[in-house]
Amino acid sequence: MSQSQSPTHTFALIDAADLTGLNTLGLPARAQRLARPTTLDALSQVLAERDPAEPLFVIGEGSNVVICSDLPGLTLSLAIDGMARVKQDNTHVWVAAGAGVHWDDLVAWTVEQGWQGLENLSLIPGTVGAAPFQNIGAYGVELSQLLEQVTVMDVATAQVKHFAGNECEFAYRDSRFKSRDRGRYIITGIELRLNKMPQCNVGYGPLKARFGHLSQADILPAAVREHVIAVRQSKLPAPDVLANAGSFFKNPVVTKERGDALKSRFADLVAYTQPDGVKLAAGWLIEQAGWKGKRLGPVGMHSEQALVLVNHGNATSADVIALAEAVCADVQEKFGVALEQEPVLLP
Ligand SMILES: Cc1cc2nc3c(=O)[nH]c(=O)nc-3n(C[C@H](O)[C@H](O)[C@H](O)COP(=O)(O)OP(=O)(O)OC[C@H]3O[C@@H](n4cnc5c(N)ncnc54)[C@H](O)[C@@H]3O)c2cc1C
């Protein structure tokens, strides 16, 4: 492996960079060339020097990807830092953060300031830059509810653009950056609008049980954050202890008629009414299909949380894909429901 840094460059270029520690599933792979630009200028310089025909990938902390083989061409891992309050009025504060910031550092900092909004999204792994890509969400809150704008760089022109939250085409674990504009833009930063006066969202199961009896004024973001962290740590395997990529499948949404039909066959079906149908708990479907705690070679579905696919050691992407296909086939056969994978396959 060689590493070069010309005096005129503000980024390091690493050849044949090992990505094994850069994806939380711990799959072995290398990037042909890896750059970590620390500023917008450095990023535009990397893009300007790249042959437009060269494959290009962006990776954050690799907590939502399945790296299937070595990545050809150039891989970017943004190291654009910084978190700041950009403006405020009597009720709200606007906060900006660079794409390279660790997501939970942003949550921790805003909660420490007493600003409310991000506490339910505590301890989600990954970077700020990846957060809008799949519109991260947890415990009844999605990033899209707080996002004021996303700053991007156009890969083809290196021009900086801003998308207002309502232009990002956010949906459940989806955005224009993940779907129709995939590969077109690199997310370089975000701006959020947070509340000065707490109005925490504690309607979701474990939060309701802990805070439901309190009045809004008595529910502090710091207490919600603390509880979310405790619940997550009790339910989800930490990737540095047991390699995983979080929820491996999205919760499928079916029509109301289909949901009713399933409910009549499976009385304890876990389902939530949505504006566009009924959302089924993928973890419940996988557990009922017999996969909770079950292994296939070096990979398996977690024994406490059936939705999480784990690498027990030395797995390859082929092992991961074989297990995902087997789980999907069994859920399809038992319930007639198609599961959709959440992590992105690279390359
Ligand atoms: C234990 C665990 C728990 C998790 N819990 C949750 C949860 O509760 N809710 C949730 O929503 N997710 C959850 N996830 C998934 C994951 O944390 C998020 O999707 C996170 O946003 C991924 O960040 P990352 O930096 O690791 O992105 P990566 O995995 O590196 O990348 C994910 C995708 O985003 C793209 N991308 C990354 N950065 C950029 C950028 N700057 N510009 C353009 N595209 C980019 C990549 O190309 C890739 O396609 C969990 C994962 C784990 C391992």
pLDDT in tens, 87-107: 999 999 999 999 999 999 999
Per residue in 319-328, pLDDT (tens digit) is 999 999 999 9
pLDDT band at 10 (very low <50, low <70, confident <90, very high): low
Asked if 171 and 126 touch (Cβ cutoff 8 Å), the reply is no
Q: Whose C-alpha lies nearest to ligand 1, atom 12?
A: 136
For residue 133, report the distance from its CA to the centre of ligand 1, in Å: 8
Once rounded to an integer, what is the mean pLDDT over residues 163-186?
A: 97
Q: How far apart are CA 195 and CA 169, in angstroms?
A: 23
Q: Whose CA is nearest to atom 10 of ligand 1?
A: 136
For the CA of 121, the closest atom of ligand 1 is: 8
Q: Which of 173, 176, 210, 225 is the catalytic position? A: 173
Q: Which domains does the chain have, with CATH numbers?
A: 3-76 (3.30.43.10), 83-235 (3.30.465.10), 243-346 (3.90.78.10)
Ligand 1 atom 28 nearest Cα: 62
Give the pLDDT score at 12: 81
Q: Any catalytic annotation for residue 54? A: no
Q: Three-class SS of residue 16? A: strand
Is the pLDDT at 272 greater than 50, yes or no? yes
CA of 134 to the centre of ligand 1 (A): 7
- Among 64, 139, 155, name the best residue to mutate to test ligand 1's pocket (greatest count of ligand atoms within 8 A of Cβ): 64
Beta carbon of 131 within 6 Å of any ligand 1 atom? yes
Cα 324 to Cα 126, 179, 246, 331: the distances in Å are 22, 21, 13, 11
Token pair 């949404």 is found at 253
Secondary structure class of 31 (helix, strand, coil): strand
Which atom of ligand 1 lies at the shortest distance from residue 244's CA? 53
Give the per-residue pLDDT at 1: 39
The answer to whether the Cα torsion of 280, 286, 338, 232 is positive or negative is positive
Tell me the CA–centroid distance for residue 64 and ligand 1, in Å: 4
Tell me the pLDDT tens digit for each residue of 195-204: 999 899 999 9
Q: Which residue is closest in CA terms to ligand 1's atom 21?
A: 131
Q: What is the pLDDT of residue 8?
A: 57
Cβ 305 under 6 angstroms from ligand 1:
no
DSSP calls for 248-308: -BPPPEE-HHHHHHHHHH-TT--EEEETTEEEE-HHHHHHHTT-TT-EETTEEE-SS-TTE
Q: Find the catalytic residue in 44, 247, 287, 317.
A: 247
> Tens digits of per-residue pLDDT, 23-65?
999 999 999 999 999 999 999 999 999 999 999 999 999 999 9
Q: Reply yes or no on whether 63 is catalytic.
A: no
